[in-house]
Amino acid sequence: MTSKRPSTSVKRPTNLDLSSIQFPLPALVSIAHRITGVIMFVGLIFVLWAFDTSLSSPEGFASVRDALTGNALAQLIAWGLLSALSYHFVAGIRHLIMDMGYGETLQSGQRGAQLTIIITAVLVVLSGVWVW
């Protein structure tokens, strides 16, 4: 038994250049969801360090508090992690809603992606106000 594959005259690219493809907004939102997951995983190092140091002694707590209130780099890292968490949370809710069967059409997928970006923008601004 030999299986015969139908011959096609369409030439397929051997090396796919992703920079030449224009992704739709829902695809970009999904890709960014994965990227923020990686950012949060790496940022967990800083969060665990801050928890460990702040819980070790009153002096450790004071040093973490001083770092988060007086150091612009520490505040930027905290704001970045909160922004990644906000985006990841909102995009995760979007994925859960899609898993329930809502927002699977092209138009509703586009609207869901737009809402994800708008809600995240509000949360990022609010977290920036809270950090600074």
Angle at alpha carbon of residue 78, lines to 73 and 82, rounded to 5°: 145
Kindly list the distances between the CA atom of residue 73 and the CA atoms of 38, 42, 69, 80, 88, in Å, as whole numbers in the listed order: 20, 16, 10, 10, 22
The pLDDT value given to residue 21: 82
- Helix, strand, coil shares of the chain, percent, nearest 5, are 75, 0, 25
For the stretch 11-46, pLDDT in tens is 776 767 777 888 999 999 999 999 999 999 999 999
The answer, as to whether pTM is greater than 0.95, is no
Q: Is 33 annotated as a binding residue?
A: no
For the stretch 89-98, pLDDT in tens is 999 999 999 9
- Name the class of domain 24-131: mainly alpha
The pLDDT value given to residue 36: 97
Q: Where are the domains of the chain?
A: 24-131
Q: Round to whole Å and give the CA distance between 8 and 13.
A: 14
